[in-house]
Structure 1
Amino acid sequence: MARILIVDDSPTEIHALRKMLEKHGHSVTTAGSGEAGIAAAKEQVPDLILMDVVMPGLNGFQATRQLARAQETAHVPVVVVSTKDQATDRVWAMRQGARDYLTKPVAEKNLLDTIGKYLAA
């Protein structure tokens, strides 16, 4: 299946997302910060990135913008997965280059349906 990078500073969130994805055959790698996520994305070039917003240092919006602008990762879909659920957060994420936006806690079906749109393309 797909190689998915999870960028989140919460071990609990990483565990929950990894469990859902691996159950459906996806290969998962993780990064605990925006900076580490950018480095991992450039090194591994995953099929899709799940990006948290609220992280120390480089936040998810900033990391998404850098990934969308970098030649080696611009084609990789970034799906923001955040507790921030305001319409302005969604709009801002899309302006930074995110392809989609999910609010935590994420239902397994919703996660799989959303990433499936980008992995099938």
Structure 2
Amino acid sequence: MPIRKILVVDDSPTERLALHEVLTRNGYLVVTADSGEEAITRSQADKPDLILMDVVMPGMNGYQATRTISRHDDTRDIPIIMCTSKGQETDRIWGMRQGAFAYLVKPVDHDELIARIRAIG
């Protein structure tokens, strides 16, 4: 499945903008959400090909949103890459157990991110 549309989920406007710029520069269509709750809604409505998910957000965190998206019939096939400041091995393991396809620690290396995206699609 080629990756065309990517949902970027992060409560930081600066982080959303930085990811938006690097992704659009590489030919991807980007939609954004600023919370876990909005990520679930947007994933069902927009049907992105990939989701980049922050973990630390007010309200529903990225782990909870990832678990919900990866277990819902309409969205379970959307790969999720967690992009977070939580860099402990236990954090990575927990993220993967929630349904993440990959786990990157901030600051995210943009070249590595694009390589991971291309490897998926």
Does structure 1 residue 110 correspond to structure 2 residue 106? no
Aligned-residue Cα RMSD (Å) equals 0.8
Distance in structure 2 (CA, Å) of the matches to 1:20 and 1:107: 11
Match of 1:63 in 2: 65
| Alpha-carbon displacement from aligned partner over 1:83-116 (angstroms, at most 9, x marks no partner) | 0100001000000000000111111111101111
Mapped to 1, the partners of 2:119 and 2:63 lie a distance apart of: 21
Q: Alpha-carbon deviations, 1:17-66, whole Å to 9, x = none?
A: 11110001100000000000100000011000000000000000000000
Aligned pairs, how many? 119
TM-score, normalised with respect to structure 1? 0.96
Q: Secondary structure at the match of 1:106?
A: coil
Identity across matched positions, percent? 50
Instruction: Tell me which residue corresponds to 2:19.
Output: 17
Unaligned 5+ segments in structure 2 are: none
In 2: Cα distance, 1:107 partner to 1:51 partner: 15
TM-score (norm 2): 0.96
The runs of at least 4 consecutive aligned structure 1 residues that moved more than 6 Å come to none
